[in-house]
Amino acid sequence: MGEIKQQLYAEAEADELAASQTTTALATPEPDPASRQDAIEGQLTAMAPAVEVDQLAAAPPPEPVANAPEQVIIPTPQTVPDVTETVAPVWRDEVSYTLAPTEGVEVKLVMVAGAVAEFYWTANGSVVAYDTHGDGDSSISYEKGRGVADQTGTLTAAFNGNHGWFWRNRTEATVTITLFVRGDYSEMKLP
């Protein structure tokens, strides 16, 4: 007989033997619960490590907890606000201008050096060219762009003076620019 056949034959005999033992085990009556409990306790005692009573007595007592915090019960409010609601940011100023093709507009904030204003502007679905700059005691160009749909950010005044935006419509259609601002400025200069 080949090795594989011998192995299959041995496995079949082992399966038959296991099946007959299972049948015999099922046919034997169960011992009473008291003797079963004694057997389980004997097995647990054999598995558990032996601990001397002297070892337990030699262990240092647990340290007392110093300044245990008091249990404080905070009452739950009867109505819980809906956390899915988002609160729209509060803008200090909002302006909109409609620009014909090639037309431009400038809006400035009067700011002191180091003052910060948050802004968001949008071309409302179109694009514009823009120049974020400042003038007064000095002049500076913070950022320029062409074909831009919107922008969000902060404007930090480099010096005392007027700081803001110039937009030009370089498209062939009318464009509406909307600007939202808030922050540290004393006045908004409009065209």
pTM to 2 decimal places: 0.54
Of 119, 120, 144, residue with least CA distance to 132: 144
- The answer to the question of residue 138 being in a domain is yes
Q: Residue 115 sits in which domain range?
A: 93-189
**Inside any domain, residue 80:** no
Q: How many folded domains does the chain comprise?
A: 1
Q: What CATH number should be reported for the domain holding residue 158? A: 2.60.120.680
Please say if the pLDDT value at position 64 is more than 70: no
With respect to residue 145, please indicate whether it lies within any of the assigned structural domains: yes
Residue 11 counted as domain residue:
no
| Residue 167 structure tokens | 């937009």
Higher pLDDT, 73 or 22: 73
Residue 170 lies in a domain: yes
Closest-CA residue to 181 (of 89, 88, 87, 94): 94
Q: Judge whether 93 and 151 are in contact, CB under 8 Å.
A: no
Highest mean pLDDT pick, 14-18, 56-60, 61-65, 97-101: 97-101
Evaluate whether residue 181 is within a structural domain: yes
Q: What is the mean pLDDT of residues 124-130?
A: 97
Question: Looking at the domain assignment, is residue 6 inside a domain?
Answer: no
**22 lies in a domain?**
no
61: confidence class by pLDDT, cuts 50, 70, 90? low
The token duo for 129 is 């060219």
Name beta bridge partners: 180. Answer: 94, 120
Mean pLDDT (whole number) for 54-79: 62
